């Protein structure tokens, strides 16, 4: 894990260095901010369109091999771009195409690397692993953005691309030496020891495939994952675009200069890293915890929108960043540990598609809200929408839970008692196999060869 974290620190710094250089390069080639924004959208588009398929690839192939190949391909794209810049052959269409290829490879690379890091620790330490990844990502972002200014000013944008290509090769060189923790869950059902199938006249269980449809179906049938997506979507659209809302608030109603917003951004970054460190102590976060933290962050956002001065705003954004960082880490932990191991890549692919969608829709909606209500109004209204939606969802869930019938067999557990099943001798004098264990799913009875059957 130490080697993996160090390699990812280097890679994250290189990624943010390249992204900064890409924006500067596009501005230099076109002189258009709209074209620069379009290049970012082109890079994000594969995640929206092909995220589910990328997750299916991660589940279908060995994780270390998949991550190694994707890192090498990303390195080749970075080095190729650096060579085109150095030789003067880079054009806007070529740069757009390379951005799209980078986004396409990332649809496989992102879930593969995320799950590979979790495989290096025992299951109880997965929340700490995810929190450590958040710390590494935040530190790499700050360091990479700062280094980009130095590298581009001294050696040009091609040097930033070359450095990022080498950082990907550094990660690819480390992956073959990583060994999964013995207690880590197997990636696929095939990795588990096979047991002889019981001799039964019942139908054979359906084969679990590796297609994208299984991951999407699991996600949509899992209420806690759908609720997590709803919480994250509304929080991302109306509460996380502080680079836009707080910039307008500080330089507008609060009358601060660009340096004041830089201070606010620094406090947000430090608070985010501190929150990720605190989140490392989580052991079994729940969707309810994620919602409570997100609602708390929304209340702090409302207070930030009403701040009378920059100093008051600074006092509010620090705990706001901490709370939201812990919420993000808790949500990521639920997302990566709730599905069975053989479906986690596909569930992350579904999440990448959904996340790309709300990240593209969010800024225009927030901009429209700011144009209508101003920076203060956007922060306050956004916070009210987030806190109100989460609270309403929690109340509806509690009411639905209270109305659900509970089976009580006299032991106060709310679970049905095991059903005794008598097996008749099979033809030829052979005895039937012993009765399997009773199903412990509420509202279901004996677990037989055909599966878990409902109890009337």
- Give the pLDDT confidence score for residue 262 in this predicted structure: 77
Residue 156 host element (H or E): none
Which residue did the predictor score with more confidence, 323 or 442?
A: 323
Residue 446: strand pairing partners: 438
φ/ψ of 453, rounded to 5, equals: -105, 140
* Six-digit token string for 245: 């809302």
Determine how many CB atoms are found less than 10 A away from the CB of residue 333. 25
- Give the pLDDT confidence score for residue 436 in this predicted structure: 45
Condensed to tens digits (0 to 9), the pLDDT of residues 142-166 reads 788 778 878 888 888 899 999 999 9
Instruction: Select from 386, 232, 374 the least CA-distant residue to 305.
Output: 374
φ/ψ of 142, rounded to 5, equals: -65, -45
Residue 454 host element (H or E): strand 451-454
Condensed to tens digits (0 to 9), the pLDDT of residues 235-287 reads 988 988 787 788 888 888 888 776 787 788 888 888 888 888 888 888 788 99
* Six-digit token string for 165: 């290509």
Distance separating alpha carbons of residues 383 and 305, to the nearest angstrom: 9
Distance separating alpha carbons of residues 403 and 405, to the nearest angstrom: 6
- Which of the four pLDDT bands, split at 50, 70 and 90, describes residue 441? very low
Distance separating alpha carbons of residues 246 and 51, to the nearest angstrom: 31
- Give the pLDDT confidence score for residue 405 in this predicted structure: 61
With left for phi above 0 and alpha for psi between -120 and 50, is residue 88 left, alpha or beta? left
User: Does residue 198 have a pLDDT over 60?
Assistant: no
- DSSP secondary structure, 168-188, as one string: HHHHHHHGGG----TTSPPSS
Condensed to tens digits (0 to 9), the pLDDT of residues 406-436 reads 544 444 444 444 444 444 444 444 444 444 4
User: What is the number of residues in the chain?
Assistant: 456
Structure letter (DSSP) for residue 440: -
Which residue did the predictor score with more confidence, 414 or 232?
A: 232
pTM for this structure?
A: 0.73
Q: Quick one: average pLDDT of 375-388?
A: 92
Distance separating alpha carbons of residues 443 and 432, to the nearest angstrom: 27
Condensed to tens digits (0 to 9), the pLDDT of residues 327-367 reads 998 999 899 888 998 899 999 999 999 988 888 888 788 87
- Give the pLDDT confidence score for residue 391 in this predicted structure: 94
- Give the pLDDT confidence score for residue 184 in this predicted structure: 74
- DSSP secondary structure, 231-288, as one string: HHHHHHHHHS-HHHHHHHHHHTTT---HHHHHHHHHHHHHHHHHHHHHHTT-SS--HH
* Six-digit token string for 117: 């890091």
User: Does residue 178 have a pLDDT over 60?
Assistant: yes
Contacts of 153 (CB under 8 A, 6+ apart): none
- Give the pLDDT confidence score for residue 258 in this predicted structure: 64
**Residue 419 and residue 438 in contact, taking contact as beta carbons nearer than 8 Å:** yes
Residue corresponding to tokens 């990907």: 168
* Six-digit token string for 293: 């933290």
Q: Quick one: average pLDDT of 65-90?
A: 94
């Amino acid at each position: 894990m130490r080697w993996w974290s160090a390699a990812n620190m280097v890679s994250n710094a290189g990624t943010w260095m390249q992204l900064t250089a890409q924006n500067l390069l596009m501005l230099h080639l076109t002189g258009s901010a709209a074209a620069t924004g379009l290049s970012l959208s082109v890079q994000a588009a594969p995640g929206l369109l092909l995220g589910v398929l990328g997750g299916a690839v991660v589940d279908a192939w060995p994780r270390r091999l998949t991550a190694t190949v994707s890192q090498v391909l990303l390195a080749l794209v970075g080095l190729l771009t650096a060579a085109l810049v150095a030789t003067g052959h880079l054009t806007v269409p070529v740069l757009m195409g390379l951005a799209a290829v980078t986004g396409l490879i990332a649809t496989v690379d992102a879930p593969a690397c995320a799950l590979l890091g979790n495989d290096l620790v025992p299951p109880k330490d997965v929340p700490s692993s995810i929190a450590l990844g958040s710390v590494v990502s935040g530190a790499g972002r700050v360091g990479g953005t700062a280094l980009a200014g130095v590298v581009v000013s001294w050696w040009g944008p091609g040097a930033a691309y070359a450095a990022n290509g080498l950082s990907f090769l550094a990660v690819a060189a480390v992956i073959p030496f990583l060994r999964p923790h013995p207690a880590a869950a197997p990636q696929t059902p095939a990795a588990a020891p096979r047991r002889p199938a019981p001799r039964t006249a019942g139908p054979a269980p359906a084969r679990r495939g590796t297609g994208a449809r299984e991951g999407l179906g699991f996600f949509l049938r899992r209420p806690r994952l759908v609720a997590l997506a709803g919480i994250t979507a509304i929080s991302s659209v109306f509460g996380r675009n502080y680079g836009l809302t707080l910039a307008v608030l500080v330089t507008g109603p609060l009358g601060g200069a660009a340096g004041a917003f830089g201070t606010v951004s620094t406090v947000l970054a430090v608070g985010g890293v501190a929150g990720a460190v605190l989140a490392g102590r989580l052991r079994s976060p729940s969707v309810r915890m994620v919602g409570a933290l997100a609602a708390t962050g929304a209340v702090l956002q409302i207070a930030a929108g009403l701040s009378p001065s920059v100093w008051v705003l600074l006092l509010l954004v620090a705990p706001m960043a901490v709370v939201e960082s812990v919420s993000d880490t808790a949500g990521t932990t639920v997302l990566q540990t709730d599905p069975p191991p053989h479906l986690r890549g596909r569930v992350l692919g579904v999440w990448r598609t959904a996340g790309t969608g709300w990240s593209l829709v969010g800024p225009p909606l927030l901009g429209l809200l700011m144009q209508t209500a101003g920076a203060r109004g956007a922060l306050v209204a956004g916070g009210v929408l987030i806190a109100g939606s989460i609270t309403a969802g929690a109340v509806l869930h509690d009411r639905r839970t209270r109305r659900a019938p509970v089976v009580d067999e006299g032991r106060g557990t709310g679970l049905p008692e095991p059903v005794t099943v008598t097996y008749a001798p099979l033809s030829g004098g052979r005895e039937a196999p012993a009765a399997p264990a009773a199903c412990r799913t509420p509202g279901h009875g004996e677990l037989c060869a055909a599966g878990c059957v409902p109890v009337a």
